[in-house]
Amino acid sequence: MAIADLGAVLRGAPKVELHIHIEGSLEPEMTFALARRNGITLPYADVAALRAAQQFTDLQSFLDLYYACTAVLRTAEDFQDLMLAYLARAAADGVVRAEIFFDPQVHAERGVAMATVIGGLTAGLREGQRQHGVEGALILCFLRHLSEAEAEQTLQQALPFLDQIAGFGLDSGEAGNPPGKFSRVFAACRALGKPVVAHAGEEGPAAYVRDAIDVLGVQRIDHGIRAIEDPALVQRLAALQMPLTVCPLSNQRLQVSPDLREHPLPQLLAAGVCVTVNSDDPAYFGGYLNANIAAVQAATPLTAHQWLTIISNSFQASLRDDAWKAAWQARLAAHFAEGGMLPAEARSR
């Protein structure tokens, strides 16, 4: 098989998605369907008008629309349907496991209880596993534009559901909301034995990536691309093998990296950083995981060997055990080999 078939090998490869906000998978069609079901009037005439509103100048302009659309999510059934729709799309892209963010504080503001949100999402995970064979895990994200006291209150509300929460994260508006604002609540999460991750270095400076590691004790950085501005930090990320969950179409659409030909992913990869590719908010940014991979490949073509590394990293960076990772990494390498992309052959290209 020739190099021309790399696209097909990538589309069919088994993968892990590590950076997906379930609320960011709310497609305009489903937004209108749920609005009708729940008797909510949207400030958009139709699906086309809502899609047309998906023009973003920065992270906040996106968050404004993203939070507004969550108004249609009311019942456990809504959250279940949302999760199942995402898992169907993920399965079509070869995703075998997804570690999925959710924002309970956004829903609490509208009076939707933690039990409703988690109950619906876990029902969706069970159904997605049954129908599509994708395994999923939930990561509860605290909203960084709110106070640490509010995050601590959210953690209290989550305690009865700890068995259904794989880890904790930090998202929303980054500028002016440094990791250190959440040092105590993250320490509490770690004391509960839960892994923690955080968005850092998306719009915020490289120093926030450093602080997420040193102050919050994260085991993964979401985005992290502005680390490229600090060569010593890039070296440290590589030495630590600290994974970055990079989201190319998100970076493009939020004007973090408007031209994908200049995106730092290849440079971070060359520096030995454990980079992964993910979709962030696919209903808003123009595509799911395979669309992100295709967009990178169109802008800055990488070799089969480089892609094998990136996708293998997604297994390595997951919250699963080493035996599971090794088994899937072997299957992934076999998939590349069967597609004519033997690692040795790929390396020589």
Q: How far is the CB of 307 from ligand HPA (least distance, A)?
A: 23
Distance in angstroms (rounded) separating the CA atoms of residues 145 and 158: 19
Cβ proximity of 215 and 180 under 8 Å: yes
| Residue type at 349 in one-letter notation | R
Strand partners, 101: 21, 139
Q: Could you tell which of ligand HPA, Zn ion, none binds residue 172, using a CB distance below 5 to 8 A set by kind?
A: ligand HPA
Q: Could you tell which of ligand HPA, Zn ion, none binds residue 89, using a CB distance below 5 to 8 A set by kind?
A: none
Angle between helix axes 322-338 and 304-316 (nearest 10 degrees) is 160
Cβ proximity of 228 and 234 under 8 Å: yes
Residue in the structure block whose two tokens are 């994974």: 243
Q: Could you tell which of ligand HPA, Zn ion, none binds residue 208, using a CB distance below 5 to 8 A set by kind?
A: none
Residues within window 30-89 making contact with ligand HPA, judged by CB under 6 A: 59, 66
Residue 36: CB atoms within 10 A of its CB come to 12
Distance in angstroms (rounded) separating the CA atoms of residues 83 and 99: 12
Contacts of 29 (CB under 8 A, 6+ apart): 47
Region at 177 (left for phi over 0; alpha for psi -120 to 50; beta for the rest):
beta
Distance of CA 76 to the CA centre of its chain: 22
Residue in the structure block whose two tokens are 């998978």: 25
* Binding-residue pattern over the window 252 to 291 for Zn ion, x denoting contact by CB under 5 A: ----------------------------x-----------
The nearer residue to ligand HPA, 80 or 172, going by C-beta atoms, is 172
According to the binding rule CB under 6 A, does residue 24 interact with ligand HPA? yes
Q: Could you tell which of Zn ion, ligand HPA, none binds residue 121, using a CB distance below 5 to 8 A set by kind?
A: none
- Is 202 a residue of the active site? yes
Residue 347: CB atoms within 10 A of its CB come to 12
The nearer residue to ligand HPA, 17 or 346, going by C-beta atoms, is 17
Distance in angstroms (rounded) separating the CA atoms of residues 269 and 312: 13
According to the binding rule CB under 6 A, does residue 280 interact with ligand HPA? yes
Instruction: Give the Å distances, CA to CA, from 108 to 72, 74, 143, 154, 157.
Output: 13, 10, 12, 9, 10
Q: How far is the CB of 259 from ligand HPA (least distance, A)?
A: 18
**Of the residues 202, 229, 262, 345, which is catalytic?**
202
The nearer residue to ligand HPA, 171 or 211, going by C-beta atoms, is 171
* Binding-residue pattern over the window 89 to 128 for ligand HPA, x denoting contact by CB under 6 A: ----------------------------------------
Q: Could you tell which of ligand HPA, Zn ion, none binds residue 99, using a CB distance below 5 to 8 A set by kind?
A: none
Q: How far is the CB of 170 from ligand HPA (least distance, A)?
A: 9
Residues within window 162-191 making contact with ligand HPA, judged by CB under 6 A: 171-172
List the catalytic residues: 202
| Footprint on this chain of Zn ion (rule: CB under 5 A) | 280
| Footprint on this chain of ligand HPA (rule: CB under 6 A) | 21, 24, 59, 66, 171-172, 199, 202, 250, 280-281
